[in-house]
Amino acid sequence: MLQSHHFIPLNSQDLVNACLQRENADKPSVALVAQRLRAVLHQEAYRTQTELIEAYTPIDPDLDTVNIAHHNTASFDGGHFKMLFEKVLKQANFIRLSRHDLQAALKESSLFNIRLDINFDDFDDVLLYCRGVNQKTETLTQWFGLRKKVISFTNYDRVVLYLRFKTVNSLGDNTQLLGRSGRTMLKLFRNVPKADLEMLFPNTRIGMRTIDKLLIGVPALVSGVVVLTTKLGATLVLLGGLLGFWLGLHHKPVELNVATLLALGAGLGTLAGYCWKQFSTFKNRKLRFAQALTQNLYFKSLDNNAGVFYRLMADAEDEEFKEAFLAWYFLQQRATPMEPSELDYEIEQWFITLNANVKTDFEIDDALNKLERLGLAKNQNGLWLALSAKEAKAHLLNLYCG
């Protein structure tokens, strides 16, 4: 089954090598163009990275340096950082999930049989971005392993979470989040089912599903009736007599001797033990849910906070290079100008010949705009013409050295 991607799921060097293996390729010049194009784009990425670092410093929850600029975090809204961060996400071919998408995901049943609740009042701003959307299947066991069910679900290869926390006063007594007050948290995850997006939030609370409540409540009710009618019968009669005498319902006093006191104590002890057992059953089930959630997140988490945009910068730079290089390479292979749609079709068909399992949705407009900005191609009345390999390598050397 073909899977559609908004990013290019190929290693950049493998992509260049695949182009070099094609016929009519000026291999030395094309290889040098790739090297110099990567260097020019790396310079641009470094400038963006420096801006990101400066913009994130006042709102970084993991900052370990002294702040001599005296930024007031509460009044620093991080708007400039958010703008830069979303720009990098777009360059890395991530897609923003709307609030509607998130709400729809929260309503879906979790693959891990856990009900999770999120308090969005803890945040001033929430952003979710994903990359690599595909359909997967999973076999789930039900009824204590007696039944297996194969389900199909939407999965995201990469998910980025942006959370802007409210100030201390707004967070109230939530001590778990007070250290994040006014800060911006970034998280990067891999292989996240759409139905389990809520597990990525730091203030997620584990709840009991209706089926879980029934699995605990029904046996507890049945066993409770058994305990009351068998082991607590004498105790209930004694307590009823004492209560009736105290309320004036009858005038015959209840004799409290050693035997009745021992019976009363044994009955109350049995009742206390039964209640403790049911409470322990409930807590143990929640602990198993928490363990499942923790283990799942352990293998899905890729990076946190500043580490997220460092990784995303590398991804964005790589995607920018692959898009620009492919558009230039296929364009300069033609002696005559090409229409964008024609060039887009040719590149996407080439991807299919490389990997029959992946259908790449190549962003031709973005790629051509980069070539025009870098001076590697020009638009002539809707038709595009690129510099030759020899012209391009000389032009890129001037850009890099200049």
Asked if 348 and 360 touch (Cβ cutoff 8 Å), the reply is: yes
Q: Tell me the per-residue pLDDT of 105-133, one tens digit each, with 9 for 90 and over.
A: 777 666 555 567 788 888 889 999 999 88
Q: Tell me the per-residue pLDDT of 377-396, one tens digit each, with 9 for 90 and over.
A: 999 999 999 999 999 999 99
Q: In what order do the strands lie in the sheet with 123-142?
A: 95-97, 123-142, 147-165, 184-193, 301-304
pLDDT at 47: 93
Percent of the chain with pLDDT over 70: 63
Percent of the chain with pLDDT over 90: 38
Q: Which tokens sit at 96?
A: 């923003």
Select the more confidently predicted residue: 24 or 306: 306
pLDDT at 75: 47
Cα gap 14→227, rounded to integer Å: 71
Bridge partners, residue 125, by sequence: 164
Q: Strand 358-360 vs strand 147-165: parallel, antiparallel, or unpaired?
A: unpaired
Closest-CA residue to 190 (of 97, 112, 302): 302
Compute the average pLDDT of residues 337-363: 86
Cα gap 343→325, rounded to integer Å: 13
Average pLDDT, the chain: 78
pLDDT at 99: 79
pLDDT at 186: 95
In 108-232, beta strands by DSSP E: 115-117, 123-142, 147-165, 184-193, 205-207
The backbone torsions φ and ψ at residue 65, rounded to the nearest 5 degrees and listed phi first, read: -115, 160
Closest-CA residue to 282 (of 227, 207, 225): 207
Q: Tell me the per-residue pLDDT of 297-340, one tens digit each, with 9 for 90 and over.
A: 778 899 999 999 999 999 999 999 999 999 999 999 987 899 99
Give the angle subtended at the CA of 281 by the CAs of 279 and 282, to the nearest 5°.
Answer: 65
Residue 170 exposed, middle or buried by CB count within 10 Å (0-12, 13-18, 19+): middle
pLDDT at 255 over 70: no
Count the neighbouring beta carbons within 10 Å of the beta carbon of residue 273: 11
Cα gap 94→60, rounded to integer Å: 22
Question: Would you give the DSSP letter of residue 221?
Answer: H
> Distances from the Cα of 246 to the Cαs of 43, 58, 241, 252, 265, in angstroms?
88, 68, 9, 10, 19
- Which of 161-165, 266-270, 350-354 is the least confident region? 266-270
334 by DSSP, 3-state: which? coil
Q: Which residues of 325-336 are buried (b: 16+ CB within 10 A; e: fewer)?
A: bbbbbbbbbeee
Residue 126 exposed, middle or buried by CB count within 10 Å (0-12, 13-18, 19+): middle
Compute the average pLDDT of residues 211-215: 53
Asked if 179 and 61 touch (Cβ cutoff 8 Å), the reply is: yes
Cα gap 266→161, rounded to integer Å: 55
Select the more confidently predicted residue: 131 or 210: 131
Cα gap 43→254, rounded to integer Å: 93
The backbone torsions φ and ψ at residue 187, rounded to the nearest 5 degrees and listed phi first, read: -135, 140
Compute the average pLDDT of residues 222-237: 54
The backbone torsions φ and ψ at residue 205, rounded to the nearest 5 degrees and listed phi first, read: -115, 135
345 by DSSP, 3-state: which? helix
